[in-house]
Amino acid sequence: TQLLEQSPQFLSIQEGENLTVYCNSSSVFSSLQWYRQEPGEGPVLLVTVVTGGEVKKLKRLTFQFGDARKDSSLHITAAQPGDTGLYLCAALRANFGNEKLTFGTGTRLTIIP
Amino acid sequence: DSGVTQTPKHLITATGQRVTLRCSPRSGDLSVYWYQQSLDQGLQFLIQYYNGEERAKGNILERFSAQQFPDLHSELNLSSLELGDSALYFCASSLGQGMPGGYTFGSGTRLTVV
């Protein structure tokens, strides 16, 4: 059983469309991060959300942390080919002593020009 | 360039062999993390070191071991290699042990066992 389930697993849309991907869990997290990974490269941190209900914007990307700090979403407006990549959410459990960062299953996004 | 350097970038070796993957963390970072990424398992945590000491362990096989040296670089040793060990191996670093600043990942080492 995965700690962090992401959906959809694959998403292919036309340039200019909007999309939302989700990261869900039954566990509560003290914070959650989103990374993007391009082929041949390591994941790159996009954002960290800490407070339940928090919304952060990064240009056309909007990240939201659920009120209960169990889930998060990433919304992309007017998607561009440069948004193509593997989107990963990652978290440490709240009040959990292990220092490891656990990654979700990932959403592989393809933007078609 | 993320500041985390991994070598080699590609490695092809035969079953039963032993390899060493090397990682230099971003300047100033004290924590090093090793992850394995395969198509069917996603990004799996292997082990973490902080300032030379092991701090957390994931599902790391007994055939695998790692260490962090006084200059903070780290090595991941994989022995008695099997076909299933073929994967991307990433090293990441962070300033401390928490995650507020996130992890900085290297470009990975692609290991192919034949």
Q: What is the pLDDT of residue B99?
A: 60
Q: Is the pLDDT of residue B97 over 70?
A: no
Residue A2, SS3?
A: coil
Averaged pLDDT of chain A: 90
Interface residues of chain A, partner chain B, Cβ below 8 Å: 31, 33, 35, 40-45, 48, 50, 88, 92, 98-106
Residue A83, SS3?
A: helix
Cα nearest neighbour of A97 on chain B: B56
**Total beta-carbon pairs less than 8 A apart between chain A and chain B:** 60
Set of chain A residues whose Cβ sits within 8 Å of the Cβ of B98: 92, 99
Which of A45, A50, A88 lies at the smallest CB-CB distance from B43? A88
Set of chain B residues whose Cβ sits within 8 Å of the Cβ of A45: 102-104
Cβ atoms of residues A79 and A17 within 8 Å: yes
* DSSP secondary structure string for all residues of chain B: --S-EEE-SEEEE-TT--EEEEEEPPTT--EEEEEEEETTTEEEEEEEEETTEEEEE-S--TTEEEEE-TTS-EEEEE-S--GGG-EEEEEEEESSSSSTT--EE---EEEEE-
pLDDT in tens, B80-92: 999 999 999 999 9
CB contact under 8 A, A42 and B48: no
Which of A50, A98, A106 lies at the smallest CB-CB distance from B56? A98
CB contact under 8 A, B55 and A99: yes
What's the residue count for chain A? 113
Tell me how far apart the alpha carbons of residues A27 and A94 are, in angstroms, rounded to a whole number: 8
pLDDT, average across residues A36-41: 92
pLDDT, average across residues B23-52: 91
Averaged pLDDT of chain B: 92
CB contact under 8 A, B42 and A92: no
pLDDT, average across residues B74-79: 98
Set of chain B residues whose Cβ sits within 8 Å of the Cβ of A41: 105, 107-108
Cα nearest neighbour of A41 on chain B: B107
pLDDT, average across residues A50-75: 95
Tell me how far apart the alpha carbons of residues A69 and A49 are, in angstroms, rounded to a whole number: 9
B66 close to A (CB below 8 A): no
